[in-house]
Amino acid sequence: MKTIEMIHPIEQCYDHEPCALAIGFFDGIHTGHQKVIEKMSHIAAEKGLKKAVMTFDPHPSVVLNPEKQRTDYLTPMYEKKRILENLGIDYLFIVPFTSSLAQMEERDFIANYFTKNKVKEVVAGFDFTYGKYGKGNMLKLEADKDGFEVTMVERHALNDEKVSTTLIRKDLKEGNIKSANKQLGRPYKITGLVVQGEKRGRTIGFPTANVEPNEIFVLPRLGVYAVTIKIEQTGKVFKGVCNVGVKPTFHDPEKQQISIEVNIFNFSDSIYGERVEVEWHDFLRPEQKFDGIDSLIAQINKDKEKAIEILNTLHID
């Protein structure tokens, strides 16, 4: 997959073959987004075009709504690229979402990013908007198209509720991992580096891998989870139980940063410095403060048993 950053002067970005284009922010690349990309891929194959995706960076809210700006993501750009490459996309166009882009008139956007950009087919969801004040929509795009065809993908729902990045973020924040995963079409994933921690877990018989995310991911609700962890270098996947939180039994929650710590089952190797992928399968309980070490150890054992029970029901590569 070739990544093309659409920087000005934009004409220098046009050195590529004619393509069919799926456009959107695509945070999460959830099942709704996948419908858009699948439709684009089908049209591209049918018409002998390259498969392309256009996304934006950062999220438009950073420019349009600073009070509610979104700076953490379900799929930060590195993860988004990885997923799209696995989907067989030929070109990824990254458009910087700046104040000048937000002020661009609809026809100028169409001309610069579609017509002159060798886009022959534009595919987007029913709610896609573009241009100054977001006045452009799919009906207007159909009316103003110039040198390309337009395909609108209808609303995608599960249990009569629209699949959306907003809903998935809400589910994660509430610990509704199964609901989030169903909408994503895969387990939610955070990637990062195993770094040195306090090593407190090993003193009570539960050594943990302290995972520092390599990008700004949406963190699930503070608490304990059944997870799997993949070591990128070896490709091996292990089951485990993960605590996301501030460890209130040992620290003042008001003064501590959130950590991601995974107790990996049947594992004793040192993996400091390794890049890992943590996949979230189920929420076990909220983070809580215990009266002492003994009650903490008893609860961790219960968490481990529950996680093993859950993970044994899953097909894990």
> For the domain that residue 217 is a member of, what is the CATH number?
2.40.30.30
CA angle 211, 213, 217 (to 5 degrees): 135
Query: Residue 153 sits in a domain of what CATH number?
Result: 3.40.50.620
18 and 149 fall within a common domain: yes
217 and 294 fall within a common domain: yes
pLDDT at 314: 83
Give Cβ neighbours of residue 54 (< 8 Å, ≥ 6 apart).
Answer: 21, 22, 23, 24, 92, 93, 94, 95, 113
User: Can you tell me which residue has the tokens 């029901």?
Assistant: 313
pLDDT at 248: 47
Whether 173 is covered by a domain: the verdict is: no
290 and 196 fall within a common domain: yes
User: Can you tell me which residue has the tokens 């799997």?
Assistant: 228
Number of domains, the chain = 2
pTM above 0.85, yes or no: yes
Final residue belonging to a domain, choices 109, 143, 161: 161
Spans in the chain with pLDDT lower than 70: 198-205, 247-256, 317
26 and 85 fall within a common domain: yes
28 and 136 fall within a common domain: yes
- Distances from the Cα of 274 to the Cαs of 56, 119, 212, 277, in angstroms? 30, 41, 11, 10
136 and 238 fall within a common domain: no
Final residue belonging to a domain, choices 127, 161, 195: 161
Whether 256 is covered by a domain: the verdict is: yes
Whether 172 is covered by a domain: the verdict is: no
70 and 136 fall within a common domain: yes
Final residue belonging to a domain, choices 161, 178, 203: 161
206 and 146 fall within a common domain: no
Whether 89 is covered by a domain: the verdict is: yes
Q: How far apart are CA 158 and CA 121, in angstroms?
A: 28
Whether 179 is covered by a domain: the verdict is: no
Whether 50 is covered by a domain: the verdict is: yes
Active site residue 254: no
Give Cβ neighbours of residue 220 (< 8 Å, ≥ 6 apart).
Answer: 172, 173, 175, 177, 188, 244, 280, 283
Residue range(s) defining the domain that contains residue 63: 2-161
Q: Which of 261, 274, 277, 309 is catalytic?
A: 261
88 and 26 fall within a common domain: yes
pLDDT at 254: 54
64 and 128 fall within a common domain: yes
211 and 146 fall within a common domain: no
56 and 95 fall within a common domain: yes
Whether 181 is covered by a domain: the verdict is: no
Whether 10 is covered by a domain: the verdict is: yes
